[in-house]
Amino acid sequence: MWRRWREITDLSRSKSVDTRFSDSPIVSFSSWTSIGKMVRLGCGDGFITEAVGHGTDFVEKYGHRRGGLRREVEQCAAKIRSGHYVYGGSSAPPVRVYNVSVPVALGDCTPMPPAIEAALKGYEQIAGVALLRRVLDAVRFHEHLANTHSAGVIESPCGAGKSVWALCHIAAHARQDNRFVYVTETVEALHRAADTLARLTKAVR
């Protein structure tokens, strides 16, 4: 931790300025490099702002702008994380940032596939229920994500439609060469899921 703090402190004291990159909110290449290294160390914007605030050039050059130094740092860090801007041949590859939310509106999702619709109707018959609109929307949302991402974790409240989607998705897509693993908490739940899947598969095919 001390080594990391010392490295960050040394970065924040940089005074050299290169204004060749005038299209950046922070035009100093020294500024860009210093902030970029701190982003790659996993530092948050608040921490970076406090660190660069120790550098005279940073404060004099950007402290008087609207939004202050914090706004300039946030814009610079956001560009670095996006990977869309390269300001030199020695720039490092884009930073892979985990757990960043990407909004996906239901209207942007692909329509419900016919096989999933058939599975949903079969599920309603098997369970003797009429699925709520929010559950149907959740199934469509989850199916869209499953078709557009190679992996993921679904986190939502109980009754939101996760299990319904999972069972219908498996029934619609499971084949000898495309198998799924369905995990339950109890053996009893496992038997219920197996029975439901067997009946859903007949409804879909």
Lowest-confidence range among 18-27, 57-66, 108-117, 188-197?
A: 18-27
Contacts of 17-25 spanning 24+ positions with Cβ under 8 A: 17/57, 17/61, 21/87, 24/76, 24/79, 24/85, 24/87, 25/72, 25/75, 25/76, 25/79
pLDDT score at 196: 93
pLDDT score at 25: 39
- What is the percent of the chain with per-residue pLDDT over 90, rounded to a whole number? 34
Q: Tell me: the pLDDT tens digits for 158-180?
A: 888 999 999 999 999 998 899 99
Q: Tell me: the pLDDT tens digits for 179-200?
A: 999 998 899 989 999 999 999 9
Q: Tell me: the pLDDT tens digits for 98-121?
A: 666 778 899 999 999 999 999 999
Residues 6+ apart with CB under 8 A from 135: 159, 160, 161, 164
Range 18-44 average pLDDT:
60
Query: How is the chain split into domains, by residue range?
Result: 2-82, 106-204
